A and B are shown apart, each in its own frame.
Chain A
Amino acid sequence: MQSGELSAQPRQSPPGVALLEAVALTCHFGGLKALNGVDLKVQSGELLAIIGPNGAGKSTLFNVITGQLRPTSGRLKFRGRDITGMPSHRLARLRIGRKYQVPTVFGGLSVRSNLTAAAYGRSSFGRLVWRPPGVRQRVDHLLEFLRMSARASDAAATLSHGEKQWLEIGMVLANDPELVLLDEPTAGMTTQETRQTEALLKELAAGHTVVVIEHDIRFVREVAQRVVVLHRGRVLADGTISEIERDETVRDVYLGRSA
Chain B
Amino acid sequence: MIRTLAGKHPARLGLALLGLGILVLVLVPLIASSYYVSVLGEALAFSMFAISLDLMWGISGVLSFGHAAFFGIGAYAFGLLTQDLSGGTATYIAVLAAIVVPALFGAGLGYFTFFSGVSGPYFAIITLVVALILGQAATSFPHFTGGLNGLYTAGLVFEVPGAQIDLSDVVTLYYVALVLTVLILFGAIGLVRTPFGQGLVAAGESETRAASLGYNTALLKTSMLAVSGAIAGLAGALYAPMAGFINPEVVGLTLSTNVIIWVALGGRGVLVGGVIGALIVAFLSSYLSGNVGHLWLLALGVLLLLVVLFRPSGLLGSRAIRRIVGSA
Which residue numbers of A lie inside 8 Å of B, CB to CB? Answer: 66-68, 87-89, 91-93, 97-98, 100, 104, 106-109, 113, 116-118, 120-123, 125, 127-129, 131, 155, 171, 175
Contacts and interface: CB of A to CB of B under 8 A. Distances in A.
A175 B201 CA distance: 17
B208 A128 contact: no
B205 A175 contact: no
B212 A108 contact: no
Interface in B185-228: 194-196, 198-199, 201-202, 205-206, 208-217, 219-220, 223
Given A97-B212, A123-B214, A128-B199, 10 more contacts: A68-B208, A89-B217, A104-B206, A109-B201, A109-B328, A113-B198, A117-B210, A121-B214, A125-B219, A128-B220
Contacts of B214: 89, 92-93, 121-123, 175
A106 B319 contact: no
A181 to B, nearest CB: 9
21 contacts: A66-B212, A89-B212, A92-B211, A92-B212, A92-B213, A97-B213, A104-B206, A106-B205, A106-B209, A109-B201, A109-B202, A113-B201, A117-B195, A117-B210, A117-B213, A121-B199, A121-B213, A121-B215, A122-B214, A128-B195, A175-B214
Given A113-B198, A117-B199, A131-B195, A122 B213 contact: yes
B213 A108 contact: no
B208 A175 contact: no
A175 B195 CA distance: 13
B256 to A, nearest CB: 26
A66 B209 CA distance: 11
Contacts of A125: 196, 216, 219, 223
Contacts of A131: 194-195
Contact of A100 (B198, B199, B201, B209): B209
The 9 lowest CB-CB distance pairs between A and B, nearest first, are: A121-B213, A92-B214, A121-B214, A122-B214, A88-B211, A128-B196, A120-B195, A128-B195, A89-B211
Interface in B293-328: 319, 328
A89 to B, nearest CB: 5
B201 A89 contact: no
Contacts of A89: 211-212, 214-217
Interface of B: 194-196, 198-199, 201-202, 205-206, 208-217, 219-220, 223, 319, 328
Contacts of B219: 125
Nearest to A68: B208
Nearest to A120: B195
Contacts of B194: 128-129, 131
A125 B215 CA distance: 9
Nearest to A93: B214
B202 A117 contact: yes
A65 B158 CA distance: 58
Contacts of A108: 201, 205, 328
A129 B194 CA distance: 6
Nearest to B191: A129
A150 to B, nearest CB: 14
Q: Which of B194, B212, B216, B319 has the most CB of A within 10 A?
A: B212
Contacts of A66: 212
A47 B327 CA distance: 40
A145 to B, nearest CB: 19
Contacts of B202: 106, 109, 117
B213 A171 contact: yes
A117 B198 contact: yes
Contact of B198 (A87, A97, A104, A116): A116
Q: Which of A98, A117, A123, A129 has the most CB of B within 10 A?
A: A117
Contacts of A92: 211-215
Contacts of B196: 125, 128-129
B195 A116 contact: yes
Contacts of B209: 100, 104, 106
B36 to A, nearest CB: 38
A125 B221 CA distance: 12
A131 B198 CA distance: 11
Contact of B208 (A88, A97, A109): A88
A171 B220 CA distance: 20
Nearest to B207: A88
A169 B210 CA distance: 15
Contact of A98 (B195, B198, B212): B212
Q: Which of B195, B198, B213 has the most CB of A within 10 A?
A: B213
B218 to A, nearest CB: 9
